[in-house]
Amino acid sequence: MDDHLTPAEERDALAAELALGLLEGQARADALRLSLSDPEFAALVAAWEAKLAPLHGEWADAQPGDAVWDGIERQLVDAPADKVTAIETRLRRWRAGALVSGAVAAALAFVLVTQPVPAPMPAAPQLAVARIESDAAGPLVLARYDQSSGLMQLRIHGFKPGALAPELWVIPEGGAPVSLGQIGHAGKAEMTMPPPHRLLMTEGATLAITMEPVSKTPHSAPSGLAVASGKIITI
């Protein structure tokens, strides 16, 4: 059916559909991707959530079982003693995952390393940078990527340690998000990108971070909206 909506109306209707949760499958994945890579679209989605918010006054209460709180409490993670420990713990988890099987190892987008990677550095590195940030005074990640060596360096600020871990995504212009794996909550990290992922690190692509359940392997799609994002700029 032809609705004769203008492009702006189409976009607003899509934001409303995502806010209401009407979409499924590929359409839902596409809309989630757009909300990750396009802050203006994400704002439209938030505006629809706000418009519909008075309906939240109508839910009927129901009592959950007593075990629910115990389950929540078990999953709360206190702030780790120091940032380096957090990254090392994560590194060990990732390596453990990589050793499970060749398939799992192949699925790993990259492995976080705490030691500098002894990559051959050419005389004139081609650099790409991105400032991955939220609109509020939230988390901030600075990314520096050397295209000649495939080395990505991150400075990570402002994530609260907990059961959900920041997961880094690269979103090519007009493409689907590809997970680069989970990162620490704070501090520095370095990683060497495998060749297929290097092709995605181009000018105009977006780096975004979502909070995801801790996983040894990168997720296939984000489960929520980006907490921070930024465009890649080549220098």
Partner 1 sequence: MQWPSSADEARTRLVAALTAVGRGDRAALRQVYDMTAAKLFGICLRICGERASAEDVLQTVYIKVWERAGQFDATRASPITWLSTIARNGAIDWRRSVAGRAVRDTLPEQAAFAVADDSLRADQSLVAAEEGERLHHCLDELEGRTRASIRAAFFDGATYAELAARENVPLGTMKSWIRRGLLRLKDCLGDG
Q: Is 7 in the site for partner 1 (CB under 8 A)?
A: no
Contact in structure between 151 and 192 (CB atoms under 8 Å)? yes
Residue among 15 and 152 whose Cβ is closer to partner 1: 15
Helix axes 7-20, 39-52, angle to 10 degrees: 60
Q: According to the binding rule CB under 8 A, does residue 13 interact with partner 1?
A: yes
Site for partner 1 in 136-155 (CB under 8 A): 136, 138
Q: Is residue 49 part of the contact set for partner 1 (CB under 8 A)? A: yes
163 interacts with partner 1 by CB under 8 A: yes
Query: Does residue 53 touch partner 1 according to CB under 8 A?
Result: yes
Q: Which stretch binds partner 1 (CB under 8 A): 107-115, 149-157, 192-200, 219-227?
A: 219-227
C-alpha distance from residue 17 to each of 9, 128, 139 (Å): 12, 35, 28
Under the binding rule (CB under 8 A), the answer on residue 30 touching partner 1 is no
Helix (H) or strand (E) holding 46: helix 39-52
* Closer to partner 1 by Cβ: residue 76 or 103: 76
- Asked if residue 162 binds partner 1 (CB under 8 A), the reply is yes
C-alpha 41/C-alpha 61 separation (Å) is 32
DSSP characters over 171-226: E-TTS--EEEEE--SSEEEEEEPPHHHHTT--TT-EEEEEEEE--SS--SS-SS--
**Cβ closest to partner 1, residue 172 vs residue 187:** 187
Contact status, residue 166 vs residue 182, Cβ threshold 8 Å: yes
Q: Which residues bind partner 1 (CB under 8 A)?
A: 1, 3, 5, 9, 12-13, 16-17, 20-24, 28, 48-65, 67-69, 71-73, 75-76, 78-79, 134, 136, 138, 160, 162-164, 211, 213, 223-224, 227
